[in-house]
Amino acid sequence: MLRFALFIVGACFLSMAIAAPSLAGAQEATPAIDSSAGPALIEDYLAALNAHEPERVAALYAEDAVVEQAIERGNTFVGRDEIRGWVAANVQGIPDLDVTTESIISEGQRIAWAWVYRGAYTGQFPGLPAGQGQPVELRGVSLLELQDNMIVRETVYFDNSAFLTQIGGSATPTAQPAAATGSVTAHVFVCPDDLHRSIRWDAVESEFAAYEADLLAGCRSFDDPAVAPLLVTLPDQEPTLPGTEVAPGVYGWSDVPFGDYALGSANTGLPPGLGSVLLTRVGTGPVQNPGLRLDTTTPHAEYRYFYFLMTGTPENDSAP
Residue 29 has a pLDDT of 41
Question: Domain boundaries in the chain?
Answer: 9-169, 181-318
Residue 287 has a pLDDT of 80
Rounded mean pLDDT, 178-206: 81
- What counts of helices (H) and strands (E) characterise the chain? 7, 19
Quote the mean pLDDT of the chain: 80
pLDDT reading at 35 higher than 50 = no
Rounded mean pLDDT, 92-120: 94
What whole-number distance in Å separates Cα of residue 121 and Cα of residue 291? Answer: 15
Q: Which segment, 63-72, 207-216, 246-255, is predicted with the most confidence on average?
A: 246-255
Q: What's the fold here for domain 181-318?
A: Immunoglobulin-like (2.60.40)
3-state secondary structure of 154: strand
pLDDT reading at 85 higher than 70 = yes
Q: Cα angle at 188 between 142 and 190, to 5 degrees?
A: 80
pLDDT reading at 188 higher than 90 = yes
What whole-number distance in Å separates Cα of residue 237 and Cα of residue 255? Answer: 18
Residue 184 has a pLDDT of 94
Query: Domain spanning 9-169: which CATH class is it, in words?
Result: alpha beta
Residue 164 has a pLDDT of 79
Higher-confidence position of 288 and 123 = 123
